[in-house]
Amino acid sequence: MARMNRLDALGLFAGTLTTIAFLPQVVRTWRTRRTDDLSLAMLVLFTLGVGLWTVYGVMMKLLPLIVANAATLLLIFFILWVKIRNLSRRP
């Protein structure tokens, strides 16, 4: 297995921080099941952006981008799922 260089370590650290920064919103959504104050447009655009960063990371073989964005994508999919479910349940 190849040894991780300093730039990859920096990228993984940065990706870890940005992914962890998103966790409070995920936890809040999990606990309350409320997403009224979250914009659907923002969630969709953010999901597309993170998805494209993941694809870019895969194509460029950049592990930090792949790991960080794949993790964030899983988190945003949960919030987006709750948001869409809540929209469909509105009277």
DSSP code string of 22-43: HHHHHHHHHHH---TTS-HHHH
Q: How confident is the model at residue 2 (pLDDT cuts 50, 70, 90)?
A: low
- The model's pLDDT over 14-28, given as tens digits with 9 standing for 90+, comes to 999 999 998 999 999
Domains of the chain with CATH codes: 6-88 (1.20.1280.290)
42-66: average pLDDT: 95
pLDDT tops 90 at residue 43: yes
Write down how long the chain is: 91
- Taken in order 39, 27, 73, 3, the sign of the CA dihedral is positive
pLDDT of the residue at 41: 96
Rounded CA-CA distance 43/79 in Å is 8
The dihedral over CA atoms of 11, 13, 18, 22, expressed in degrees to the nearest 10, equals: 140
